[in-house]
A and B are shown apart, each in its own frame.
Chain A
């Protein structure tokens, strides 16, 4: 009887040790573990902002002329090492030509100039803050620019009712990382002011990983078989706006684009 008991105890001990080993060895211990929300998830609440030149051009480039001579150096192209892994955006040949054409005419063609919604991933690296409001069922990302907004569904994935500017986002947690799968984006947005564009077949997978108390690592894998020969990836840190009483403010930019869009239709004096 005692021998049987002893065997059972040894067996459970062995099982427990195996379990413990699996827990510690199998899981990749992340460098930083974020504080948790009340429902046990990494806490991404806060106001965040990219601090780079990605909105000018995702790829690395030296400084250059701006588009408006009257604004001189104040609105010139700042230098950048770029945010594209491998620094190459793998356009299909026809699409590469369109990119060049976009770039040459960007002030006329860039939807940002018209105060159009920026789409994904550009919304994350516009030079303006955005706010993450994290609930258990839904995570809202409210972007200051043009009042852009999207809601990430954290429940079972749902299908988009149709194409939209900000796409349809389904999210899930992978350890410390918020993974967001974005589909049903329309073909109207650009990736940057350099004319990098996509079709309505765009599929973006984003990863938001807390890196420290006040930084997130943001990665986006971009896939669009109509425009690119393979998926490609961008990555960059996002920084918390730590000033007391930080807010995202109203930025209804339609007013600032109206003269450009409707000026020619005004009554001649």
Chain B
């Protein structure tokens, strides 16, 4: 009896400890523990989300000094040297960088918008890669537009000419808070506020919240088929799949009302997201539209992890811009009528 009692007690204690341990969540392997492994490679390993997929989560900024298109005169030069990069950075910080669009070497501006009002400090901009342009390859510029596309876009402009202020239907989508310029995919940097991107990953989905206009894409990662062809969407339909540690997202089903640099509803967008360091994500996009460009073109932007918060951008709810503009146009009409025009 005196021998069986300790054995029984130990057995019960072991059972209880095992039961308690089973309640604990399984801990994912962390980069720290990976580093502690003996003879581990020094190479950085992408952390894993709880479902084992590469962890792309966080708040990211795509701001950069690198312009979309290669500055004239650089020809096929795809990368700056470290010294050139430092010189360009200095020039850019001393000059004006403009409100949005092409950044790069300083250029004088008659009007300088003070974006610090929005918490954006242009002096904090820096190059996030050595690229001379975001567009990759020997040309580094958007391919020329096909003649058919030029006509198509000219027609759209012609239709609106003289009617720009007739009604809300004639106003740009950004003014209507339907699709802000910077909200439209593919995602391009712009030197203004609302550019933060927050990624949250759950089982089978990666979702991307773009601060501007709280634009959200919840992307399935099972490589499923696109929604039916007759369903056209402002931001198209995005479906994703993993290729190694890269998330590849394929988007089609655009409408013909959101040209991207003159594209049509045939636009096909492929985006690739690869986390290359704790604080760096390489975002690459390829666009193709056989009715607009003779060949596809690709751009690559290095995103930087940043602190939030991501603010709520309630564009439509606070849209006094469009009412003010239309009201002003009606006042102008009334005055013109009075003058007997």
The answer to whether A and B belong to the same complex is yes
Residues of A near any B CB (own CB < 8 A) = 2, 5-6, 9-10, 12-13, 16-17, 19-20, 23, 36-41, 43, 45, 115-117, 131-140, 142, 146-149, 151, 158, 161-162, 164-166, 188, 245, 247-250, 252, 254-255, 258, 261-263, 265-267
CA distance A267 to B220 in the complex (A): 44
Which one of A38, A138, A149, A245 lies within 8 Å of B57 (CB-CB)? A138
Which one of B25, B198, B201, B327 lies within 8 Å of A151 (CB-CB)? B198
CA distance A140 to B52 in the complex (A): 19
Q: Tell me the count of chain B residues lying within 8 A, CB to CB, of chain A.
A: 64
Known A-B contacts A6-B5, A38-B49, A151-B200; A140 and B207 likewise in contact (beta carbons under 8 Å): yes
CA distance A255 to B322 in the complex (A): 13
Decide: B167 and A133 in contact? CB cutoff 8 A.
Answer: no
Jot down 14 A-B pairs with beta carbons below 8 A, ordered by A.
Answer: A6-B2, A13-B13, A36-B25, A38-B49, A39-B50, A131-B218, A139-B200, A161-B309, A164-B311, A188-B317, A245-B224, A249-B227, A258-B169, A266-B166
Sorted from nearest, which 4 A-B pairs have the closest CB atoms?
A40-B25, A38-B50, A266-B167, A133-B202
Decide: A20 and B168 in contact? CB cutoff 8 A.
Answer: no
Asked if B216 is at the interface (CB within 8 A of a chain A CB), the reply is yes
A20 to chain B: which residues have CB within 8 Å? 16, 19
Asked if B160 is at the interface (CB within 8 A of a chain A CB), the reply is no
Known A-B contacts A13-B9, A265-B323, A266-B326; A136 and B50 likewise in contact (beta carbons under 8 Å): yes
Decide: B9 and A9 in contact? CB cutoff 8 A.
Answer: yes
Residues of B119-178 at the interface with A, using a CB-CB cut-off of 8 Å, are: 165-169, 176-178
**Nearest opposing residue in chain B for A11, CB measure:** B9
Decide: A250 and B233 in contact? CB cutoff 8 A.
Answer: yes
Which one of B167, B198, B323 lies within 8 Å of A267 (CB-CB)? B167
B10 to chain A: which residues have CB within 8 Å? 9
Decide: A37 and B6 in contact? CB cutoff 8 A.
Answer: no
B227 to chain A: which residues have CB within 8 Å? 247, 249
Main secondary structure of the interface of A (DSSP, over half): mixed
Decide: A133 and B5 in contact? CB cutoff 8 A.
Answer: no
Decide: B9 and A10 in contact? CB cutoff 8 A.
Answer: yes
Within the complex, the shortest CB–CB distance from B297 to chain A, in Å, comes to 26
Decide: A134 and B202 in contact? CB cutoff 8 A.
Answer: yes
B13 to chain A: which residues have CB within 8 Å? 12-13, 16
Decide: B207 and A165 in contact? CB cutoff 8 A.
Answer: no
**Nearest opposing residue in chain A for B51, CB measure:** A38
Known A-B contacts A147-B216, A265-B326, A265-B327; A131 and B57 likewise in contact (beta carbons under 8 Å): no
Residues of B240-295 at the interface with A, using a CB-CB cut-off of 8 Å, are: none
Within the complex, the shortest CB–CB distance from B96 to chain A, in Å, comes to 29
Decide: B25 and A41 in contact? CB cutoff 8 A.
Answer: yes
Which one of B169, B177, B214, B234 lies within 8 Å of A250 (CB-CB)? B234
Decide: B201 and A135 in contact? CB cutoff 8 A.
Answer: yes
Known A-B contacts A5-B6, A131-B218, A250-B235; A16 and B16 likewise in contact (beta carbons under 8 Å): yes
Known A-B contacts A38-B28, A38-B50, A149-B214; A133 and B207 likewise in contact (beta carbons under 8 Å): yes
**Nearest opposing residue in chain B for A266, CB measure:** B167
Q: A40-B24, A266-B167 are in contact. List 10 more A-B contacts (CB 8 A).
A: A13-B13, A131-B218, A133-B218, A134-B202, A135-B202, A140-B209, A142-B218, A165-B312, A262-B322, A263-B167
**Nearest opposing residue in chain B for A12, CB measure:** B13
Within the complex, the shortest CB–CB distance from A255 to chain B, in Å, comes to 6
CA distance A161 to B309 in the complex (A): 8
Known A-B contacts A9-B6, A262-B326; A132 and B202 likewise in contact (beta carbons under 8 Å): yes
Asked if B80 is at the interface (CB within 8 A of a chain A CB), the reply is no
Within the complex, the shortest CB–CB distance from B281 to chain A, in Å, comes to 16
B205 to chain A: which residues have CB within 8 Å? 45, 131, 133
Asked if B110 is at the interface (CB within 8 A of a chain A CB), the reply is no
Which one of A5, A10, A45, A254 lies within 8 Å of B176 (CB-CB)? A254
B25 to chain A: which residues have CB within 8 Å? 36, 39-41
A131 to chain B: which residues have CB within 8 Å? 205, 207, 218
Which one of B12, B19, B178 lies within 8 Å of A255 (CB-CB)? B178
B330 to chain A: which residues have CB within 8 Å? 265, 267
**Nearest opposing residue in chain A for B317, CB measure:** A116
Within the complex, the shortest CB–CB distance from A64 to chain B, in Å, comes to 29
Asked if B76 is at the interface (CB within 8 A of a chain A CB), the reply is no
Asked if B215 is at the interface (CB within 8 A of a chain A CB), the reply is yes
CA distance A211 to B179 in the complex (A): 38
**Nearest opposing residue in chain A for B222, CB measure:** A245
**Nearest opposing residue in chain A for B206, CB measure:** A133
Decide: A45 and B224 in contact? CB cutoff 8 A.
Answer: no
Asked if B74 is at the interface (CB within 8 A of a chain A CB), the reply is no
Within the complex, the shortest CB–CB distance from B17 to chain A, in Å, comes to 8
Decide: A16 and B12 in contact? CB cutoff 8 A.
Answer: yes
Decide: B51 and A12 in contact? CB cutoff 8 A.
Answer: no
Decide: B12 and A37 in contact? CB cutoff 8 A.
Answer: no
A140 to chain B: which residues have CB within 8 Å? 200, 202, 207, 209, 216, 218
CA distance A41 to B24 in the complex (A): 10
Asked if B90 is at the interface (CB within 8 A of a chain A CB), the reply is no
Which one of B28, B311, B322 lies within 8 Å of A39 (CB-CB)? B28
Decide: B234 and A164 in contact? CB cutoff 8 A.
Answer: no
Asked if B106 is at the interface (CB within 8 A of a chain A CB), the reply is no
B5 to chain A: which residues have CB within 8 Å? 6, 9-10
A39 to chain B: which residues have CB within 8 Å? 25, 28, 50
